[in-house]
């Protein structure tokens, strides 16, 4: 382990473990960079596409800081999370649930594909005993979401020929489909989303998600 990993940049001069964690990932954009890498490695420009408000200079700085802290590695032209970085998944999920309990969330603001999928892993409820393989296609990014009976939604990237259905659209449109009240068939008929495969299974699936 490098010396830099032992000594993250000090923002909070406290012995508190939470303050120590914030010294590592508490800078603006840092946790959102981790979010964008949580499901798959990405190139620099792909990370920026998921974070439209960040400048190239700030993103470069955050990636360098996260690499020094042992959270991110840069290999073969892509950035990927280390085991330490992947360990932040429960933190992101807890933040989704905590944020959903507080007013002021505006779903009309930009939602990246990865952000939507991670929120779904956090906000699913009553899924015990369900077995589902779902596909989601959002522009250049595709995801496979699986329920295997234990109530935990597991997400990965790519496509799976065994998916019972596939929903397609951008992050905001699919967030409307997953969390909104409108039936998927209506949204598909209106051209808001794409729906392929078993529509009834897809409707039952999105019925498992609640924001509040």
What domains does the chain contain, in order, with CATH numbers? 3-87 (1.10.10.10), 91-206 (3.30.1050.10)
CB 40 within 8 A of CB 138: no
Q: How far apart are CA 175 and CA 108, in angstroms?
A: 10
Q: What is the pLDDT of residues 107-134, one digit of tens each?
A: 999 999 999 999 999 999 999 999 999 9
Check whether 9 has a pLDDT greater than 90: no
pLDDT at 7: 60
| Beta-carbon contacts of residue 146 (< 8 Å; ≥ 6 apart) | 132, 133, 134, 153, 154, 155, 156
CB 83 within 8 A of CB 119: no
Q: How far apart are CA 46 and CA 79, in angstroms?
A: 10
Q: What is the pTM of this model?
A: 0.93
């Amino acid at each position: 382990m490098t010396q830099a990993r032992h000594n993250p940049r000090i923002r909070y001069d406290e012995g508190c473990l939470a303050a120590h964690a914030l010294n590592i990932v508490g800078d603006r954009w840092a946790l959102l960079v981790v979010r964008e890498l949580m499901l798959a490695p990405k190139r620099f420009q792909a990370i920026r596409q998921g974070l439209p408000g960040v400048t190239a200079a700030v993103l470069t700085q955050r990636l360098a800081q996260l690499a020094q802290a042992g959270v991110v590695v840069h290999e073969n032209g892509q950035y990927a999370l280390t085991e330490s970085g992947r360990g932040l998944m429960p933190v992101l999920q807890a933040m989704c649930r905590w944020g959903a309990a507080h007013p002021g969330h505006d779903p009309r603001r930009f939602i990246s594909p990865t952000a939507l999928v991670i929120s779904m892993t956090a906000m699913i409820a009553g899924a015990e005993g369900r077995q589902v393989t779902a596909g989601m296609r959002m522009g250049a990014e595709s995801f496979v979401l699986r329920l295997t009976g234990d109530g935990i939604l597991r997400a990965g990237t790519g496509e799976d020929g065994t998916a019972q259905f596939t929903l397609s659209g951008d992050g905001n449109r699919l967030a409307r489909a997953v969390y909104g009240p409108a039936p998927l068939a209506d949204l598909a008929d209106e051209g808001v989303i794409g729906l392929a495969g078993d529509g009834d299974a897809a409707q039952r699936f999105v019925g498992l998600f609640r924001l509040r």
